Amino acid sequence: MGHDSLDATATRLRRDILKMLYLCQSGHPGGSLSCVEILEGLYYRTMRVDPARPAWEDRDRLVLSKGHACPALYAVLADLGFFPREDLWRLRQVDSHLQGHPDMTKTPGVDVNTGSLGQGLSVAVGLALAAKHKRKDYRVYAVVGDGEVQEGMIWEAAMAASHYKLDNLVVLLDHNGLQIDGPNEEVMGLGDIVAKFSAFGFDCEEVDGHDAEAVAAAAGRRAEGRPRFIRCRTVKGKGVSFMEGAAGWHGKPMNAQEYETAMKELGGGQDV
C-alpha cells in the first residue's frame, strides 16, 4: 500500500486534492483519495467529453453521487482544462465556483448536483432514460459510495435502471469499506453487495479500484439490455499512509505537519 503503485496522473491529482483541502481547512480527504483512479479511468480513458464544450449535448455524463468526494472531481476537471487549475485553491471560499458539494450551475464540467446521498443515482437513471428517449448514444456513469448504498432510494433507482433496460448506465461503487461512524460492517453491513446488484438485474464485475486501466476496461464494457455495476475495491485515504484505512479522515482538515508529511509521500515539496 504505497504511493509507488500509483500512476503519475493519479499522483498529480492526489497532490491537488490535498493542497485544496489543506488550503480550505475543511472537506473530505478520505473518500476523495479513494476514488481518484475511478475518475481517472473514466475521464482519461473511457468517457467522451470535451473540456472546451462542457455542455456538449452528446457528451458522456458523470454523476458523482458521493458528492462529498468532489475535490477529486475538481482536480480531474482542472487537469483536463475545464477551468484553470488556480481555481482549485479557492475551494469552498465564498467567491469560488467550487462548492463544498458539486454544483452544475456554477462549475464547468459538473453534470449533476449531488451531495445529498442517494439522489445522484436516481438523477443518473433519469439522464440514461432521457438518452434512450432521445435516441442518443451517450453513456452515464454514476460513482456511488459504500455508505451511500444504505440509502433506500439507491434501490429504487436500481430497480428502475433494470426495468428500463438502461444498458447506457454504469454504476461504479467506491468500496473502501469505511463511513463516518466506522466500518460499513459495523454501522450497517452491506452484505454481498455484488449479489444484491446482480439480483436487481445488473451485469456485475469487480475490479481493483486503484487500477485506472482496469476501471476503464470494466466501465467500457456493455451488457445488452442491462445496466452495469462495477464494485471497485479501494482504500479510503489511498496514497497517504496515515490516512489509509482510517475512518477518522473522512472529513478532517490536515494541520501543517500532516500536510507536509502527506505531500512528501506523494513526491515531495509542498507547493504552497
Partner 1 sequence: MSEAKSLRVAYGEALVELGAANERVVVLDADLAHATMTSLFQAKYPDRFYNFGLAEANMMCAAAGFAHSGLLPFASTFALFGTGRAYEQIRNSVAYVNANVKFGLSHSGLSVGEDGGSHQSVEDIALMRVVPNMTIFVPCDPVETRKAVFAAAEIDGPVYIRVARPVVETITAPDTPFVPGRIVLLREGSDVCILATGLMVKEALKASDALAREGIRAAVADVHTIKPFDSEFVLAAAEKYGRLLTVEEHSVIGGLGSAVAETLAGASAAKFRRLGIRDKFGYSGKPADLFEAFGLTPGHIASECKALVG
Written as nine digits, the cell of 149 is 448504498
- Residue 162 beta carbon to partner 1: minimum distance, rounded to whole angstroms: 12
Stretch near partner 1 under the rule CB under 8 A, chosen from 39-47, 102-110, 183-191, 198-206: 102-110
- Residue 79 beta carbon to partner 1: minimum distance, rounded to whole angstroms: 24
**56 contributes a contact to partner 1 by CB under 8 A:** no
**107 contributes a contact to partner 1 by CB under 8 A:** no
Stretch near partner 1 under the rule CB under 8 A, chosen from 79-87, 109-117, 170-178, 262-270: 109-117
| Sites for partner 1 among residues 127-156 (CB under 8 A) | 127-131, 133-134, 152-153, 156
**108 contributes a contact to partner 1 by CB under 8 A:** no
**171 contributes a contact to partner 1 by CB under 8 A:** no
Binder of partner 1 out of 3, 80, 104, 150 (CB under 8 A):
104
Q: How many CB atoms lie within 10 A of CB 93?
A: 11
Distance CA 124, CA 112 (A): 8
Binder of partner 1 out of 53, 85, 163, 264 (CB under 8 A):
163
Whether the CB-CB separation of 80 and 107 falls below 8 Å is answered with no
User: Which residues on adjacent β-strands are paired with residue 63?
Assistant: 142
Stretch near partner 1 under the rule CB under 8 A, chosen from 87-95, 124-132, 172-180, 193-201: 124-132
Stretch near partner 1 under the rule CB under 8 A, chosen from 71-79, 125-133, 236-244, 253-261: 125-133
**57 contributes a contact to partner 1 by CB under 8 A:** yes
- Residue 118 beta carbon to partner 1: minimum distance, rounded to whole angstroms: 8
Binder of partner 1 out of 16, 60, 111, 205 (CB under 8 A):
111
**159 contributes a contact to partner 1 by CB under 8 A:** yes
Distance CA 20, CA 129 (A): 35
Q: How many CB atoms lie within 10 A of CB 128?
A: 26
Residue numbers at the binding site for partner 1 (CB under 8 A): 57, 103-105, 111-113, 115-116, 118-120, 122-131, 133-134, 152-153, 156-157, 159-160, 163-164
